[in-house]
Chain A
Amino acid sequence: LAKTTQPISMDSYEGQEVNITCSHNNIATNDYITWYQQFPSQGPRFIIQGYKTKVTNEVASLFIPADRKSSTLSLPRVSLSDTAVYYCLVGNTGGFKTIFGAGTRLFVKA
């Protein structure tokens, strides 16, 4: 399973776009990139998953360059309720254990 590196923490203000970048230099050919969000006292929640280029859903966008050695989670117009820890994971999920890195603690201020 590929190791990931992401910033420990980030601060933002309401209404701003937040981009969290994750490095995964040892990503394998069949690995997917998945992001989870965790609020205090809750289990992690799936945000988005991608393999290459760009993926967008109602919550976020995920940008993956051609070499796939990094990825960027983009949260448009964050609100106070987006304050959470965001985890980047790389692996071939489905029957494989999901291994969590340290995560990025995002704090959104008013």
Chain B
Amino acid sequence: SAVISQKPSRDICQRGTSLTIQCQVDSQVTMMFWYRQQPGQSLTLIATANQGSEATYESGFVIDKFPISRPNLTFSTLTVSNMSPEDSSIYLCSVEAGMNTEAFFGQGTRLTVV
């Protein structure tokens, strides 16, 4: 299993500013994933954070808006840049333990942009 800690758990930010969300895992993992969950909606994958290389972004998400760092096998950050109210969501970090195994999720960061 894997235990994931996300910081902050919630934040209220002014539009135009940026917020960096941290994700710490208690074990080394190859891939980490960042999701967004808008109110009442399912989870949407933003990107896959790869250690030692640039993140891989899904359609509709770009590095300038959501820069990601992955300095080692237990840590990643997601930055939400130049925020607008439309960025208000829950952002979740996830890892997978291995082939055909479950994914583990952090508790999420609830972001409100005003």
Contact = CB atoms under 8 A, between A and B. Distances in A.
Q: Chain A contact residues: over half helix, strand or loop, or mixed?
A: loop
Interface stretch (B41-49, B65-73, B81-89): B41-49
Contacts of A43: 4, 92, 94, 105-108
Most buried by B among A32, A34, A43, A103: A43
Q: Chain B contact residues: over half helix, strand or loop, or mixed?
A: strand
Contacts of A95: 30-31, 96, 99
B106 A101 contact: no
Contacts of A53: none
B75 interface: no
A9 B45 CA distance: 23
Given A95-B30, A100-B43, A101-B42, A49 B94 contact: no
B94 A98 contact: yes
Interface size class of B (residues with CB under 8 A): 20 to 34
Interface in B34-80: 35, 42-45, 48
A87 interface: yes
Interface of B: 4, 30-31, 33, 35, 42-45, 48, 90, 92, 94, 96-108, 110
B107 A100 contact: no
Contacts of A101: 42
Nearest to B30: A95
B84 to A, nearest CB: 23
A93 B96 contact: yes
Given A42-B108, A43-B92, A43-B106, A94 B43 contact: no
A46 interface: yes
A99 B103 CA distance: 11
A102 interface: yes
B100 A92 contact: yes
Interface string A84-110: 010100001111111111110000000
